[in-house]
Structure 1
Amino acid sequence: MKGLYSALLVPFDNEGNIIESGLRQIIRQNIDVQNIDGLYVNGSSGENFLMNTDQKKRVFEIAKDEAGNDIKLIAQVGALDLTEAIELGKFATSLGYDALSAVTPFYYPFSFEEIKYYYNAIIEATGNDMIIYSIPALTGVNLSIQQFDELFENKKIIGVKYTAADFFLLERIRKAFPDKLILSGFDEMLIQAAVSGVDGAIGSTYNINGRRARQIFELAKQGNIEEAYKIQHETNDIIEQVLALGIYPTLKAVLSTKGIEAGVVKRPLSPLNDDGLEQVKLLVSKYNL
């Protein structure tokens, strides 16, 4: 399960329906052009928490059908409704997904015992491997090294998608759990994560910039830090502009310039205006995206 994974984008029409042909095109773009090792399906970048259960299942189906066994597939099934999370986990497992992932429960102030129950319940119901999705900035859940230790007592919890800027904690996790999978979730800090010993990364910008990410990761692993930083600097110039415009509509607009049916974001997220679309064209041209 090591390597670089794109956090798969999902194209929607103006009514919020999945553009299925466009989703297949985005998957092929990731496999054939960006040369990623796998897809992280129905995560934040897929606007998962704006979709209903049937839409989430359809995305899982299309991704597996289009990718086949060519790459690794991780199904993000986390939901506030544990029943839905288990239903999605069973469904993805039946399709042959290599592992499940689940965001830590959010919104309500869940205790650690409740969080542990949530993960163990999904695992027990599905029998699949689990990758914790830790993203404190969006969930408000900050897991400690002791809590990771307790979660990892379940052998089916094989690792963590670590989307946090606390590199001290990342180093402590790496040292304490050398056999667990650590996938970094911050595209803009890929080089720092690689130097810290992560096994790979999951990124939304890899949908359009996976080849640069590959260079950064491999150069850093080889110890060529200076060259890796040059590419990270350029990557962060891209990311800075993407974030300023709005990450998900901008990534879709970049894909649209390539003739891909990337659609729009799902409401209430806002699409780009005409000025934003013009800036995307300049971005694509400047960085050869």
Structure 2
Amino acid sequence: MTNQKFKGVFPAFYACYDDAGEISESRTKDLCNYLYEKGVQGLYVSGSSGECIYHNLDERKATLKYVAETVKGKLTLIAHVGAPSTRDSVELAKYAEELGYDALSAIPPIYFKLPESSIYKYWTDIMDAAELPFIIYNIPQTTGYNLSMNLFKQLIENKKVMGVKNSSMPAMDIERFKAAAGEDFIVFNGPDEQYVAGRIIGADSGIGGTYAAMPELFLKAEQFVSTGNFEQARSIQRDINDIIIALCSLNGSMYSVIKEVLKLNGVNVGSVRAPFEPVHGEDLNNIPAIKEMIDQAILKYGKN
């Protein structure tokens, strides 16, 4: 395996529900096919955007299974296996390996404030459970833990650690992780609002929660960055950020707004699971305008 397969645009996959709010096989597979046809390089499955914290083990396994059945071998698949307990995380890691995923990833332990020795053991226990590469997931704004350089350097001594998904807002964190780990180490930009900045300062790829709402724009941003067209890269990032602000401006979870946009694109993946709040009331009338923003930006920059 080469790290080249982990470079590019990786949408964070959404939880796909039926009308009763249960995990839907058909809708999961529909979203897989939709994103594959858009030309993304891979999927990050069962992470924050996948509402993983609100799913039980069977539901998370089902999503991992349906995705693998649909696009394994077509897209690079990263299984997020972070869970409140090490036991559940290890079980998910073993299952993802059985399904043929390309790599594992996990947030640090949540809720309790643990010493770094516990966080280190949590991640290494997951790595020991399967013979797959591992991607650290640093998202301090939701977990309460910001990956320290000291722990990072300990972790990268393990040959299974091949990357980090960095969702902290300072772009400098990306540069520091890349500098410490070397050119062969894959750094994924996490904050969608700084995709261009993250790539320029050292990120090799991106994993993001809004990518699936507008994959054409992130693929185009990647094209601009990789070809050195930084004027257009800055321009498309501004338009992406205007769209993200709009996605976050309505009542309900951003993911519920995105899912309403996807419905207008012919992809029904249901809504969101409580305690996430679905967009409702008069704000539903604003969804077409957000879709129009996305459509106009796609026309502005072109699909190819």
Q: TM-score, normalised by structure 1?
A: 0.96
The equivalent of 2:80 in structure 1 is 76
Residues in 2 aligned to 1:95 and 1:230: alpha-carbon distance in whole angstroms: 40
Deviation track 1:10-62 (CA, whole Å, cap 9, x = no partner) reads 122454301221111111111102x1100000000011110010000000000
Contact 1:7 1:41 in 2 (8 A): yes
Alignment of 1:271 onto 2:271: no
- Aligned to 1:46, the other structure's residue is in SS state coil
Contact 1:29 1:207 in 2 (8 A): no
In the TM superposition, residue 211 of structure 1 has moved relative to its aligned partner by: 1.3
The equivalent of 1:202 in structure 2 is 207
Residues in 1 aligned to 2:58 and 2:172: alpha-carbon distance in whole angstroms: 40
Q: Which amino acid in the other structure matches residue 162 of structure 1?
A: N
Alignment of 1:118 onto 2:122: yes
The equivalent of 2:132 in structure 1 is 128
In the TM superposition, residue 129 of structure 1 has moved relative to its aligned partner by: 1.2
Residues in 2 aligned to 1:237 and 1:160: alpha-carbon distance in whole angstroms: 27
Unaligned runs of 5+ in 2: 1-5, 299-304
Q: TM-score, normalised by structure 2?
A: 0.92
Contact 2:78 2:103 in 1 (8 A): yes
In the TM superposition, residue 116 of structure 1 has moved relative to its aligned partner by: 0.8
Q: CA RMSD in A?
A: 1.3
- Return the match for 1:214 from 213, 219, 231: 219
Contact 2:79 2:101 in 1 (8 A): yes
The equivalent of 2:244 in structure 1 is 239
Alignment of 1:254 onto 2:261: yes
Residues in 2 aligned to 1:29 and 1:204: alpha-carbon distance in whole angstroms: 16
> Stretches of 4+ moved more than 6 A in 1?
none
Residues in 1 aligned to 2:133 and 2:8: alpha-carbon distance in whole angstroms: 17
In the TM superposition, residue 87 of structure 1 has moved relative to its aligned partner by: 0.4
Contact 2:163 2:187 in 1 (8 A): yes
Alignment length (residue pairs): 288
Residues in 1 aligned to 2:45 and 2:114: alpha-carbon distance in whole angstroms: 25
Contact 1:16 1:267 in 2 (8 A): no
The structure showing larger relative contact order (alpha-carbon pairs under 8 Å, at least 6 residues apart) is 1
Alignment of 1:59 onto 2:66: no
The equivalent of 1:166 in structure 2 is 170
Contact 1:145 1:169 in 2 (8 A): no
Q: Identity of paired residues, percent?
A: 34
Deviation track 1:70-119 (CA, whole Å, cap 9, x = no partner) reads 01000000112111100000000000000000111121111111111111
Contact 1:21 1:261 in 2 (8 A): no
Contact 2:8 2:222 in 1 (8 A): no
Unaligned runs of 5+ in 1: none
- Return the match for 1:31 from 33, 36, 51: 36
- Return the match for 1:190 from 195, 201, 225: 195
- Aligned to 1:69, the other structure's residue is in SS state coil
The equivalent of 2:301 in structure 1 is none
The equivalent of 1:177 in structure 2 is 181
Contact 2:43 2:77 in 1 (8 A): yes
In the TM superposition, residue 240 of structure 1 has moved relative to its aligned partner by: 0.5
